[in-house]
Structure 1
Amino acid sequence: MIEGWRWYGAYDRISLNEIAQTGAAAIVTALHEIPYGEVWPRQAVAGTRDRIRSAGFDWTVVESLPVHEAIKRGEGDLAGLFANYRQSMANLAAEGIKVICYNFMPLLDWTRTDLAAPAARGGTCLRFSLTKMAAFEILMVKRKGAEADYPAETVAAARAWHEAATQEELDRLHTAIMAGLPGAFDRYGIAGLRDALARYDGIDRDTLRRNLKRFLEEVVPAAEDLGLRFAIHADDPPRDILGLPRIVCDGEDIGWILSANNSRANGLTLCAGSLGANPANDVPAIAARFADRIHFAHLRNVAKDPDGSFEEAAHLGGDTDMPALIAALLGEEARRREQGRADDSIVFRPDHGHELLDDGTRDTHPGYPLVGRLRGLAELRGVIVGLGHAAGPLFPAV
């Protein structure tokens, strides 16, 4: 397995020189400054690649090449957006990119209600509180019908929390929910969010699936021609929020997506944390089931509460059996080597670390501290090396 590290380029407070000290071999990044729907110029891709390469890293995975909201909504004449997307793909392939991670989450990417929840032994972590999410939807956004999407006890708890909350706490909740938007793009105010949600009126799960299938039909043939592999990221959290459907939440969803276009170029980013937040998911079993189509992996862990809330756990803590998951990925790499596949090594990265020690002084992207991810990478590296040592010739490349 190839150790990766997510880097936000010019927007990142962590330098490539600092990342080099973590031991990671690959950088996972994107051209975050380019608005959704515009072509990524080859010169800009090459400039980022050269900067990464000169620091001693490989750049083979882009995370992510964003899908425009109009494509997710299936809205209007999309020919120009699809053409731009394919041109960006061609420019990435020309500069050595092999894997494109993307998501099909409507409007928002990952969503949390707390960006600095206290962790058990010090430091802070990201947290998703179902009570606070209900308060945001029902009492702040005032989304019509939102109450029906939550259990009665959660609605009651949300009302109690909202009544007791200070304006600072309400503002902090709003900021946290907007934090999943990448790069330098504007965050929605409450009124702007209502307007954005209104554009998704009438789009249900089946409609979103049809729009994803159309997207795959437009881009997967080009990916095959270019030698690229697409890797869809699971929804985070794996549940409908803000009345928006989520269609990448479990094994059934993943199976549908991979069968919707049965090319090996149509694959999966195995995100242990996103899938692990769904109590119904056995993440190592999902990895084993779809191993042949896993092109990239996010390794992190979550601890779930009975009401559907969860928080980021230590990489070897939480509810997912991380050694079992890594063993499934190592086993898949061994099978690929036996088959002589060029994609026999899977890039992974530690994801959403705790803020530890002086991480809080750096003002990094939420969930992407230096020390917390360094701890996670070291723990994951230990598991990989240990499994390889125990298995002997089964994992000869470890």
Structure 2
Amino acid sequence: MQMTFRWYGDGNDSITLKQIRQIPGVKGVVWALHDVPVGEVWPFERIEEVVKQANKYGLNSDVVESVNIHEDIKLGLPTRDQYIATYKETLKNLSRFGVKVVCYNFMPVFDWFRTDLFKEMEDGSTALYFDATKVHSLSPEQVVKNMKENAKDFSLPGWEPERLKDLQRLFGLYKDITEMNLLENLTYFLKEICPIAEECGIKMAIHPDDPPFPIFGLPRIVKNKEDIQRLLSAVDSPSNGLTFCSGSLGVNPSNDLIDIVNSFSDRIPFAHIRNIKHFEDGSFIESSHRVEDGSLPITSIVNALYKNGFSGYARPDHGRHIWDEVCRPGYGLYDRALGAMYLLGAWDTNVLLRDNLLAKKPLHTV
């Protein structure tokens, strides 16, 4: 497992590469060119700039998250081919700098969704929160307005400004789009993209829907094991993979996260590992990565990845906002650094057990 850390770039992140470099075990940054409008080719010079910045601190830039998908591709409009062509050019440019994985999603309108970005917890920290009742009582425009006002002057990752300028128009375009239509449009995209990705040595790793159920009537197609199997089977390419996200898939208690890891381990080049806490009404909050603080079997997930020979990239996902840190919602330094250490500790326990069993030695005791 290669530990990474998401970074939003100079001038766009409260966290520096120097600070990331000081987190033990973190070897690379997960990055993107957030200011390049969706549908445009990522310029070679801009990619080179980020790669050089990371390399200066001994960090790799092997994982990109995300090269966003233009809405016309998701909708299957006639204009999709021109946007697929530019996507291919971006992949070619990324491959020239050794990028190995591109995480992306196919969620309509919203890349992710929460109702509160700084919900206070019992210990005084704050975290991303999804209020199931509020989602049913408010309009999309109301919730988006609240989120943007509460973002504390930080941009919301994946929320392209141009996509959110006219929500009513977008919702109208999706009015007659079914899950099957959306899957067909994703399959069309992957059939075009995967041959290029294979040539470039890049794994396309789709991120599950967050949350993994329909909201505001929008279709969702990466919600559970059945959806994942259907998607990976639709385009049987080594470049058609999954970003395993425990926090997204784990929102639905019916999803067996260990079974999903075991079933698709050979198609998981990237993992987001985080914990959440469920509430009886369907609401949830981002907790610390520690098993006891949430509802997900985080250490068992790490164990399953280890047992399946996982050699891909992982990152601690959303963290709480602790120790009075002012940061992008869900993406502070402190709690994610704690999360990275927790995940590496779980991984190292497996390594220690393996080494002692191979040597037939008892574990060291105090």
With normalisation by structure 1, the TM-score equals 0.84
Match of 2:224 in 1: 250
The 3-state SS of whatever aligns with 2:222 is coil
Aligned partner letter, 2:330: G
Match of 2:318 in 1: 352
Distance 1:179 1:311, change over 3 A: farther
Aligned partner letter, 1:319: S
Aligned partner letter, 1:133: V
Distance 1:119 1:68, change over 3 A: same
- Residues in 2 aligned to 1:26 and 1:181: alpha-carbon distance in whole angstroms: 19
Pair 1:392 & 2:351 matched: no
Aligned-residue CA RMSD (Å) = 2.3
Match of 1:7 in 2: 7
Equivalent runs, 1:278-289 vs 2, <5 Å: 278-289=252-263
Q: 1:326 aligns with which of 283, 302, 313?
A: 302
Match of 1:119 in 2: 121
Shift of 1:369: 0.7
Match of 1:49 in 2: 51
Contact 1:268 1:296 in 2 (8 A): yes
Q: 1:223 aligns with which of 185, 189, 197?
A: 197
Aligned partner letter, 1:390: L
Match of 1:305 in 2: 279
- Residues in 1 aligned to 2:358 and 2:162: alpha-carbon distance in whole angstroms: 45
- Residues in 2 aligned to 1:183 and 1:56: alpha-carbon distance in whole angstroms: 30
Higher mean displacement: 14-23 or 179-188:
179-188
Match of 1:150 in 2: none
Pair 1:22 & 2:20 matched: no
Shift of 1:78: 2.1
Q: 2:170 aligns with which of 182, 188, 196?
A: 196
Match of 2:103 in 1: 101
Shift of 1:77: 2.8
Match of 1:274 in 2: 248
List per-residue Cα deviations over 1:332-387 (Å, max 9, x = no partner).
22xxxxxxxxxx6211000110101021xx2x221001111111112112111112
Higher mean displacement: 292-301 or 11-20:
11-20
List per-residue Cα deviations over 1:101-131 (Å, max 9, x = no partner).
0000001111000111112322011110111
Distance 1:240 1:183, change over 3 A: closer
Q: Unaligned stretches of 5+ in structure 2? A: 360-366
Distance 1:171 1:71, change over 3 A: closer
Shift of 1:305: 1.4
Contact 1:354 1:372 in 2 (8 A): yes
Shift of 1:186: 5.3
- Residues in 2 aligned to 1:251 and 1:176: alpha-carbon distance in whole angstroms: 34
- Residues in 2 aligned to 1:87 and 1:261: alpha-carbon distance in whole angstroms: 21
The 3-state SS of whatever aligns with 1:195 is helix
Contact 1:42 1:95 in 2 (8 A): no
Shift of 1:66: 0.7
Aligned partner letter, 1:89: L
Q: 1:373 aligns with which of 324, 336, 342?
A: 336
The percent of aligned pairs where both chains have the same amino acid is 39
More helix by share: 1
Contact 1:231 1:268 in 2 (8 A): yes
Match of 1:148 in 2: none
Shift of 1:195: 2.1
Contact 1:299 1:348 in 2 (8 A): yes
Displacement over 4 Å in runs of 4+: 173-181, 393-396
Contact 1:388 1:394 in 2 (8 A): no
- Residues in 1 aligned to 2:148 and 2:204: alpha-carbon distance in whole angstroms: 32
Contact 1:110 1:180 in 2 (8 A): no
The 3-state SS of whatever aligns with 2:269 is strand
Distance 1:392 1:4, change over 3 A: same
- Residues in 2 aligned to 1:347 and 1:170: alpha-carbon distance in whole angstroms: 32
List per-residue Cα deviations over 1:221-257 (Å, max 9, x = no partner).
1111111111000000001012110110100000001
